[in-house]
Structure formats: C-alpha cells, structure tokens
Structure 1
Amino acid sequence: MRLPGAPLPPRSCLDRGTRSPTNDTEVNAMRAAAWHRHGVAALPVADITDDWLRQAITNEANRRWGRRNGENHHGR
C-alpha cells in the first residue's frame, strides 16, 4: 500500500511485469543496432530460404554455442 503523495519506488531492470513484451518492430531495431554498432548479425534461421546457407549458419552456431534445446535432429 502506498500513502498518498509518497514518492514512487525506484525503478529497476529486475522489476518484471512493468514493461510490455518486445514487439517485432523493436526486435528488428535491436538487430539493426547490433549490426551497425557491433558487426553482429542476428538472423532468425527459419527466415533463411537458401537450404545450404541455413545449414551452414546452423552448423557454425552449433559449433560455437552447442545445439539449441528442442532442436529437431531429423532422426539422429
């Protein structure tokens, strides 16, 4: 309970539930910023239409960071 006229509690990045979920426009803006500022490309693998390129990117990501949880292993 807050007293009338009392100051608001301090804001914190740990305070969950005060911000709405990130939308697609904001995510794309963050991807663009990562590319322009840091040279990091964040691409959704499902959006890559070339089979060979998609598999090459998946292989490199698996090599660097390990397989994703819930990844389809195609029978392996």
Structure 2
Amino acid sequence: MLPGSPMPPRSCLHRATSPTTSAELDALRRRVWREQGVVSLAIDDVTDPWLRQALINEATRRWGARGGRHGA
C-alpha cells in the first residue's frame, strides 16, 4: 500500500485471524461428518487407488472437472 493511499474497503466478512491449522481443519471435518453426514477428504490422502478414482469420478460427475495439477 502506498503512503497516503486510502485504506482498502472493510467488510463484516473479513476475519483478522490466522489460517486454519491442520488440527482445526480435521476437527471441522469430524464435526460436519457427525452432525450432517458430510464427508470432506483430501483426495491425496486416499491411499487405495480404486477408491481414490471412484471418489474422483463421482465428484467430477457431480461438480465438474478440477483445474490445476489434478486436471481431468
């Protein structure tokens, strides 16, 4: 930011907190699974190749292909 320039816009959605840690993210995933029955998995954490591909196929069918290094 340049000296004397206006402050950036503020929003009630802005949270001045640090990024979520791995432990916090895991706790959030556990909670949403227990309370809502929703599974959140990092695809690289699924070690079984068949299961990983099945999850990728279903996610792609529902929400479209991913960008980036995972492509397809």
> How many percent identity over aligned positions?
48
Q: Give the corresponding residue for 1:64.
A: 62
What residue ranges of structure 1 are gaps of 5+ in the alignment?
A: 1-10
**What's the RMSD between the two structures over aligned residues?**
1.6
Give matches, 1:45-56, under 5 Å.
45-56=43-54
TM-score by length of 2: 0.77
Aligned pairs, how many?
Answer: 61
4+ residue runs over 3 A deviation: none
CA distance in 2, matches of 1:66, 1:72: 11
In our comparison, the structure showing a higher alpha carbon Rg is: 1
More helix by share: 2
Give matches, 1:1-76, under 5 Å.
12=12, 14-16=13-15, 18-70=16-68, 71-73=70-72
What residue ranges of structure 2 are gaps of 5+ in the alignment?
A: 1-10
TM-score by length of 1: 0.73
CA distance in 1, matches of 2:20, 2:47: 25
